[in-house]
Amino acid sequence: MVKSSEDFLHINQWDVALKIHEFNEIGSQEFKSAQYLANILRARGFQVKDGYAGIPTAFRAEKIIGKGGPVIAFLAEYDALPGIGHACGHNLIAASALFSAIRATEKLRNGKIVVIGTPDEEGSGEFSGSKILMANKGYLDDIDLVLGSHPGDSWDVGRQSLAVQDFEITFSGIASHEAADPDSGRSALDAAILTYTGVNMMRQHVRRDLNVVIHGIVKEGGTASNVTPEKAVLVYGIRSSSVKYHGELVKRFKKIVEGCANATETTYKIKEIGPLFATTKINPTLSNFIRDRLLDKGVQCPALEETFSKQPGGSTDFANVSQVKPALEVDFQIADEGTPWHSHVSLEAAISSRAKKILDIVIEVLSDTAYKFSEDVGFRERIKIDFLSP
């Protein structure tokens, strides 16, 4: 049965967290989730555009309060992980974005509150890293401040992230009978194995301070042991905490591929998979304000310096947003430190009573931040200066 707008009006943040968890839709396929979230916002008087930025499961909702004032956007995610479900807790991100925005419309006197539904953070489908597309193609141009949140095993307000680009390398050789005609064959698998070895050797000669991570697999390596493999496919991810250094690594990586193809008399094609995920630009003014608000609420959130001392492990498309607009994604703790993420434990944590309590705090703090930004011109200026500084 189709729910009336009246029904949607009575849905609260925890209903959203549970419902999105239950929908369990993977990236680029979040049709039910996107529609459900958009309907809640419609019921609350937001103007909603479905399929924002040409992405079927994206949306943009906005509501004007008073006259003039800044434009503040909250980013929602609602994609699950293939196989396991909402083990990254994006159901909570959806709930937090929606209800931070709704709370903000109650607190603000002047401004425009926007919710953008940003699909496929996990990179499962066609619109992998949708925030990157939005950031690069001007879909965030009119926004003055972007706020987001992400659950995890610790609190942080300004965690660094790694730049990452994935590649698929396809080698082509010549098939032949491995016993009768081996001299006619050229093995694509040899090229792949040689590349794998070459990349392992490169790892020893990279900057240690820039958090280089290179991970690869052999996706295809032949079909029968008596046929020279004419096709072999490698998939690699290359990461670093410096975009510039990342570019140098990619050049070196490509040289290895070329050299190994030459050595084995095979040919190759390199394809980029998905967009380049940038590093996160930290905004100390914003981080410190949010941390102070969290401390007020009794949350032991570490200072920015302490967060910086942690080794960045992951990558996120929110990073690309932080490169084009003042932005902050708050990491909020819903499980004990050291809890493995993308696991069955985090799947349960995403609908736990602990998460329920924390979600309310995140919503209050993010909506307070929006209020502060709309009221305090000096605060806005300092955030802008932080953003423009290199």
Footprint on this chain of Zn ion (rule: CB under 5 A): 88
Long-range contact list for 338-342, CB < 8 A, 24+ apart?
A: 338/153, 339/153, 341/87, 341/88, 341/152, 341/153, 342/81, 342/84, 342/87, 342/88
For 203-342, where are the E strands, in sequence order? 213-220, 231-240, 267-277, 327-333
Q: Determine the Cα–Cα distance for residues 12 and 278; give it in Å rounded to an integer.
A: 34
Residues in the chain: 390
CB of 251 to Zn ion, least distance (A): 30
Q: Is the CB of 124 or the CB of 187 nearer to Zn ion? A: 124
Residue nearest to Zn ion (CB): 88
Q: Is the CB of 88 or the CB of 362 nearer to Zn ion? A: 88
Q: Determine the Cα–Cα distance for residues 59 and 102; give it in Å rounded to an integer.
A: 16
Question: Which residue shows structure tokens 């009246």?
Answer: 6
CB of 293 to Zn ion, least distance (A): 23
CB of 121 to Zn ion, least distance (A): 6
Q: Is the CB of 88 or the CB of 157 nearer to Zn ion? A: 88
Q: Is the CB of 118 or the CB of 241 nearer to Zn ion? A: 118
Phi-psi region at 83: left, alpha or beta (left = phi > 0; alpha = psi -120 to 50): left
Q: Is the CB of 88 or the CB of 192 nearer to Zn ion? A: 88
Gyration radius of the chain's alpha carbons = 23
- Angle value at C-alpha 241, between 345 and 201, nearest 5 degrees: 95
Q: Is the CB of 120 or the CB of 230 nearer to Zn ion? A: 120
CB of 118 to Zn ion, least distance (A): 12
Q: How far apart are the first and last CA of the chain?
A: 53
Contact 84, 124 (CB under 8 A): no
Contact 250, 175 (CB under 8 A): no
Q: Is the CB of 283 or the CB of 315 nearer to Zn ion? A: 315
Q: Is the CB of 120 or the CB of 368 nearer to Zn ion? A: 120
CB of 387 to Zn ion, least distance (A): 24
CB of 216 to Zn ion, least distance (A): 23
CB of 125 to Zn ion, least distance (A): 15
Residue 84 in 3-state DSSP?
coil
CB of 79 to Zn ion, least distance (A): 8
**Which two tokens mark 81?**
């992980």
Contact 326, 386 (CB under 8 A): yes
CB of 58 to Zn ion, least distance (A): 17
Strand order from edge to edge, sheet including 71-76: 47-50, 59-65, 111-117, 71-76, 145-152, 327-333
Q: Is the CB of 88 or the CB of 97 nearer to Zn ion? A: 88
Q: Determine the Cα–Cα distance for residues 71 and 29; give it in Å rounded to an integer.
A: 29
Strands 163-172 vs 231-240: parallel, antiparallel or unpaired: antiparallel
CB of 90 to Zn ion, least distance (A): 6
